[in-house]
Structure 1
Amino acid sequence: MFDHDTLRSTIAASAGSVSHNDIVPVLVARALQGDECELTADGAVSVRTGAFTGRSPKDKFIVRDALTADSVWWDNSGAMSPAHFSVLLEDAVAALGGLNVFRQDLLAGADPRLQYGVTVLTPSAWHALFIRNLLIRPGEMVQTGANPTPVTIVHVPQFKADPARHGCRSETVIALDMSRNIVIITGTSYAGEIKKSVFSLFNFHAPRQGVLPMHCSANLGKDGEAALFFGLSGTGKTTLSNDPDRPLIGDDEHGWSDDGVFNLEGGCYAKTVKLSATAEPEIFAATKRFGTVLENVVLDDAKVPDFDDVSLTENTRAAYPIHVLPAIAKGSVGGTPKTVVFLTADAFGVLPPIARLTPDQAVYHFLSGYTAKVAGTERGITEPQATFSACFGAPFMPLHPTVYGEMLAEKLRASGASAWLINTGWTGGGYGVGKRIDIASTRRLLSAALNGALDDIAMRTDELFGFEVPVAVPGVDSKLLTPRLTWADAAAYDRQALHLAGLFRANFEKFGDAANAEPGPRMAQAAE
């Protein structure tokens, strides 16, 4: 059975060559030489990921052994036997034989006491560039710990697994051995699998160290107070946390320890669909940087990215180091959070643009992890569909959601942080009838929540959902704050609200009897 040193030396011995820690210009040149990419007019690296333009959650497996058997949330994770993992690892290593392998030795975790030393081995120069952009580069910004926990990721996108031989579902496999912190990725070129495998390891181990792992963005206020932004794809998490007046701690993955918040990564992986220089100037500028990796972004004849073209996928992405942004937090760390924000894009047009949550309500919405897909975003979707992803990142959470929920409850009680639900979705009707809440109003409401301007203003209690909603906020149309008033047909709003509340309750049933109790929607108060 391979340990980390043996695994790495075995790959080095059989590979045609191993390039150690190539810097960005070298990786770009090697990717071009290998015909893996093309350059945009500004020097960014444009790549295609082939058949897979997103993650393959059904092909993700965790080794079921003495460490994981009684702790992993198996309803959410595929199980692989240690024997199958060993055979898969041997075959993946053999598939690298004779190839030019790119090795990147990086860090995950800005807190040096809770750090991983991550070695990624891949035959693809652009994947090596991708992960170099996204993890922490030793010696840059963050202190290296005395004994980082070793992690090895064997990335062989061209290798096709055999379900009969490897105990998997298809030719694509993302397999994690939590006991040894070894990851195997085969059969997919989508680079996000590398990034998220590190997050999954962290999410399994962090709670044992008293650290809450979080799929969220984080930034700092003028007095150094931290704010957290949870939200599924398309809710505005990256956009709203990138604020030139609030230094960014990190874009996507964090830990909350007794000392505060720390970033797991050293880069950003931003969605670029319909990216605008006006609405998202910092991200737009990053896409023009030499060495930024653009995934599945269509280029025009002049090699200029067309962010409105989603002919390949709506999941177009840009991967770039965090230091290219104009305002970042020193050391990628922050103090204890003062504000926690849950973002949703409610395509039903029911939820208010902002609501204040009690600690119990905050945990409820954290465990619910709600947003909605709109018609046309995926094949077969003709009307809004509710999406619930526990902890706003269920695919990456190996433990049961209540483990993380209980930790959040403890953190909120200890910190006294305020919690807010912000809807960046629709008003005046659902998708196709109403309109998207304008970004300017969202930013005003968010700013008011962050700077304390909403602490003492008049609030109404939503009769169905139970949370508090501001009656009026300077600079925001007061009608917008009461969604029912924005609908032409109030009765239609009531029906839609009941429908959404029912979806919340049905989803929450997997957590037991609490589904029918506070702090969820108060269905008994409204007649069908």
Structure 2
Amino acid sequence: MSETGSEPRPIRTSLPDPTTASNIQYFGGVGSEQPKSPHPETHSTDTALFDDLRRLAIDDETTTEFGSAAYVSEFRSRTAEKTANAVDDQFDDTDYAHIDRAVSAVENRQLLCIDRLVGTHPGATFCCRLYVPPSYARIAHAWAKLFEPTDGREPDFVTVQLPDEQETAIRILPDDGFTAVLGSDYTGEAKKSFLRLFMYRLKQAGGLGLHAGSKRVCVQTGSGLTASDSDPADSDCGSTDSDSDTTASSATDPTDSSGEIISDPSSKLRTVGQLFMGLSATGKSTLTAHGCWLEEPEGAEMVQDDVCALLPDGSVAGSEGGGLYVKTIDLDAAEQPGLHAAVTDDSAVLENVGVGEGGSVDFTDDRYTRNTRAVIRRSELPSASDDIDLEGVDHLFFITRNPLMPPVAKLDPEQAAVAFMLGESIETSAGDPERAGEHIRVVGTNPFIIGPEGDEGNRFRALVESLDLECFVLNTGSIGNRDCGDMVDSSDCGDIGDSELGGSKDIGVKESVTILTELARDRVEWERDDQLGLAVPTAVPGLAIEDYRVADYVTEYERALESLRAERRAYLESFDHLDEAIINAVY
């Protein structure tokens, strides 16, 4: 803190050099990529670095039947109500005192220091430096596996995590790239401290950080597609793992979602980039990682699972190049064989997962929390791509579970910005365990935004327009739920259950994947729904879309929509910086 006690000093650049400080055990680069760098390599390989961190955490480890490390933390979710940043919140002496405690620890306490890289994109790669006490080496062990080895550059972002502080407080100085995490031992706090700043920094550069998954879909498409309709890069597909649990390799003639062979002689292979925005438990990770039941030469691969950034040139920069921080509750080998294989590999790190005698693992055990986690290596997940960046993106999906929304609807740029601002989702155990299952709104489905949220919506619309990005709202829940969710007054839902088709209709993974695949093939036909105010499909190969007309499941459907629009508009009007054209596009 300065002499006045009201302004922060430039912290990140004033901390001691961890390579020479006697109180710091430094874990830097691996190999000999940058022998002349300011911070030379400390280990010959990543494996050697991970092994050293694991040895330091041995007292906290329960070794599983798979040979992996399992740890139990005291905190089992992020502490949003204890988090503040100096851009959106007025910091006072108490806030800077939290920062000072973190700085003092770096200067005086015995700490571990680990440098890793977030991102691989030439314009979106940052060095992240994490400090933790040796007694919490398990945090460093798990966190390090998420990111790539450093190349020896100076840190762009620094986090000091001190779980043994009595008071819980997360304080962020965004412009300085510094975060203090006090009183929490949750690995997710360390991870998100860097991804939050990754998104903030790229927004400053003209892009927009997204809490989104990304994937690359390679499909056979004909129906009039010519060379002039596609980018030269679309001439063949990106690499896919034909041995993955979600990509077959035996067929020579690709089929559509109904199993019909596509035999159009004018067909060609086309690569489509897709983004999925949604909080946990909405299907974001499932759809991002799903192989779409495609057979060679078609295929699909997950590129990123959690955080990426849409850049002004249309590329999408990934963040986590080393691993993924996945939920494991109720993980089943039959349903998700690829993910199960990665989680049960000896390279994984389990967090708050039930482990019994002899190291037996029970993924249904929620004795600690429903927010059970594992850090897995990308190299062990068959559906993961070799790279983490998309060269371009074609489709962006807002995942909702609002039962007044159809399985899919197409949005114009203003409507897409409305969907972005609404961020309709479901609270999860990762966010607020006490509210898990409640319908909520989070702008951009991103609880890590720094800066005015209305500006995020304006920036999003500008990028959608300039990149000619197709946007959709995708309902992965059901239509016609009895209470119509928490988004509207249940009295405005009408009497549900009188339809000849039944009281409600679920939208399963099969239906959603069919929609994604046929959109990639450009074989979905559309018309405007005047009641909803959006374009809705009239034909989706492989799906009887006529069975999913929301009005058939909700009596007084128009009244329910009017109530929903009014409530949505009032919500949008609460954002000072949001453009009026976006507010007027409410649906």
- TM-score for both structures, normalised by structure 2: 0.73
Question: Which runs of structure 2 are paired with 1:345-424 in the superposition (5 Å)?
Answer: 345-346=401-402, 349-373=403-427, 385-393=438-446, 395-424=447-476
Given that 2:215 and 2:304 are in contact with CA atoms closer than 8 Å, whether structure 1 keeps it comes out as yes
- Go from structure 1 to structure 2 and tell me whether the alpha carbon gap of 1:334 and 1:152 turns closer, same or farther (over 3 Å shift): same
In 1, Cα distance between equivalents of 2:569 and 2:129: 43
Given that 1:352 and 1:480 are in contact with CA atoms closer than 8 Å, whether structure 2 keeps it comes out as no
Does residue 325 of the first structure (1) align with residue 395 of the second (2)?
A: no
CA displacement 1:346-367 (0-9 Å, x = unmatched)? 3xx2211111111111111011
Does residue 31 of the first structure (1) align with residue 86 of the second (2)?
A: no
Look up the equivalent residue of 2:17 and give its one-letter code.
S
Unaligned runs of 5+ in 1: 64-71, 139-143, 161-170, 522-528
More helix by share: 1
What is the CA distance between 1:337 and its match in structure 2?
0.9
Unaligned runs of 5+ in 2: 1-8, 29-41, 43-47, 219-233, 235-270, 292-298, 486-502
Question: Which runs of structure 2 are paired with 1:113-512 in the superposition (5 Å)?
Answer: 113-123=123-133, 124-138=136-150, 150-160=156-166, 171-222=167-218, 223=234, 224-244=271-291, 245-259=299-313, 260-266=315-321, 267-301=323-357, 303-346=359-402, 349-373=403-427, 385-393=438-446, 395-430=447-482, 434=504, 436-454=506-524, 457-461=525-529, 463-464=531-532, 466-485=533-552, 487=553, 490-491=554-555, 497-511=561-575
Does residue 48 of the first structure (1) align with residue 116 of the second (2)?
A: no
Given that 1:459 and 1:469 are in contact with CA atoms closer than 8 Å, whether structure 2 keeps it comes out as yes
Corresponding position of 1:68: none
- Give SS of 1:129's match: helix
Look up the equivalent residue of 1:133 and give its one-letter code.
K
Name which of structure 1's ranges 409-418 and 227-236 shifts more when overlaid on structure 2: 409-418
- Give SS of 2:461's match: helix
Superposed CA RMSD in Å reads 3.2
What is the CA distance between 1:309 and its match in structure 2?
3.1
CA displacement 1:470-509 (0-9 Å, x = unmatched)? 1232322334421333x3xx32766655554444233223
Given that 2:414 and 2:582 are in contact with CA atoms closer than 8 Å, whether structure 1 keeps it comes out as no
- Give SS of 1:117's match: strand
Given that 1:231 and 1:343 are in contact with CA atoms closer than 8 Å, whether structure 2 keeps it comes out as yes
In 2, Cα distance between equivalents of 1:26 and 1:214: 34
Look up the equivalent residue of 1:471 and give its one-letter code.
T
What is the CA distance between 1:192 and its match in structure 2?
0.9
Corresponding position of 2:85: 62
Given that 1:505 and 1:515 are in contact with CA atoms closer than 8 Å, whether structure 2 keeps it comes out as no
CA displacement 1:397-433 (0-9 Å, x = unmatched)? 1111232222222222222221111111123524797
2:585 alignment partner, one of 519, 522, 525: 519
- Give SS of 2:98's match: helix
- Give SS of 1:153's match: strand
Corresponding position of 2:23: 15
CA displacement 1:180-228 (0-9 Å, x = unmatched)? 2121111011111111111222233222211221111112232443211
Taking only the aligned residue pairs, the percentage that are identical comes to: 25
CA displacement 1:408-459 (0-9 Å, x = unmatched)? 22222222221111111123524797564221111111211223221xx143
What is the CA distance between 1:151 and its match in structure 2?
1.7
Given that 1:250 and 1:322 are in contact with CA atoms closer than 8 Å, whether structure 2 keeps it comes out as no
In 1, Cα distance between equivalents of 2:54 and 2:556: 55
Given that 2:77 and 2:186 are in contact with CA atoms closer than 8 Å, whether structure 1 keeps it comes out as yes
In 1, Cα distance between equivalents of 2:348 and 2:433: 30
- Give SS of 1:308's match: coil
Corresponding position of 1:524: none
What is the CA distance between 1:517 and its match in structure 2?
5.1
What is the CA distance between 1:99 and its match in structure 2?
6.2
- TM-score for both structures, normalised by structure 1: 0.81
What is the CA distance between 1:235 and its match in structure 2?
1.0
- Go from structure 1 to structure 2 and tell me whether the alpha carbon gap of 1:451 and 1:149 turns closer, same or farther (over 3 Å shift): farther
In 1, Cα distance between equivalents of 2:183 and 2:290: 38
- Give SS of 1:54's match: coil
What is the CA distance between 1:327 and its match in structure 2?
4.1
Given that 1:232 and 1:344 are in contact with CA atoms closer than 8 Å, whether structure 2 keeps it comes out as no
- Give SS of 1:158's match: coil
In 2, Cα distance between equivalents of 1:320 and 1:102: 22
- Give SS of 1:399's match: coil
- Go from structure 1 to structure 2 and tell me whether the alpha carbon gap of 1:187 and 1:219 turns closer, same or farther (over 3 Å shift): same
In 2, Cα distance between equivalents of 1:380 and 1:174: 20
In 1, Cα distance between equivalents of 2:425 and 2:475: 9
Look up the equivalent residue of 1:473 and give its one-letter code.
V
In 2, Cα distance between equivalents of 1:16 and 1:208: 32
Given that 2:130 and 2:158 are in contact with CA atoms closer than 8 Å, whether structure 1 keeps it comes out as yes
- Give SS of 1:258's match: coil
In 1, Cα distance between equivalents of 2:160 and 2:461: 37
Look up the equivalent residue of 2:181 and give its one-letter code.
I
Does residue 111 of the first structure (1) align with residue 121 of the second (2)?
A: yes
Given that 1:11 and 1:97 are in contact with CA atoms closer than 8 Å, whether structure 2 keeps it comes out as no
In 2, Cα distance between equivalents of 1:296 and 1:153: 23
- Go from structure 1 to structure 2 and tell me whether the alpha carbon gap of 1:234 and 1:380 turns closer, same or farther (over 3 Å shift): closer
Look up the equivalent residue of 2:122 and give its one-letter code.
P
Given that 2:207 and 2:309 are in contact with CA atoms closer than 8 Å, whether structure 1 keeps it comes out as yes
- Go from structure 1 to structure 2 and tell me whether the alpha carbon gap of 1:329 and 1:379 turns closer, same or farther (over 3 Å shift): closer
Question: Which protein shows a greater Rg?
Answer: 2
Given that 1:234 and 1:345 are in contact with CA atoms closer than 8 Å, whether structure 2 keeps it comes out as no
Corresponding position of 1:141: none
- Give SS of 1:80's match: coil
Corresponding position of 1:167: none
Given that 1:14 and 1:96 are in contact with CA atoms closer than 8 Å, whether structure 2 keeps it comes out as no
Given that 2:276 and 2:399 are in contact with CA atoms closer than 8 Å, whether structure 1 keeps it comes out as yes
In 2, Cα distance between equivalents of 1:291 and 1:210: 37
Look up the equivalent residue of 1:483 and give its one-letter code.
V
- Give SS of 1:246's match: strand
- Go from structure 1 to structure 2 and tell me whether the alpha carbon gap of 1:484 and 1:320 turns closer, same or farther (over 3 Å shift): same
* Count of residues in Structure 1 that have an aligned counterpart in Structure 2: 478
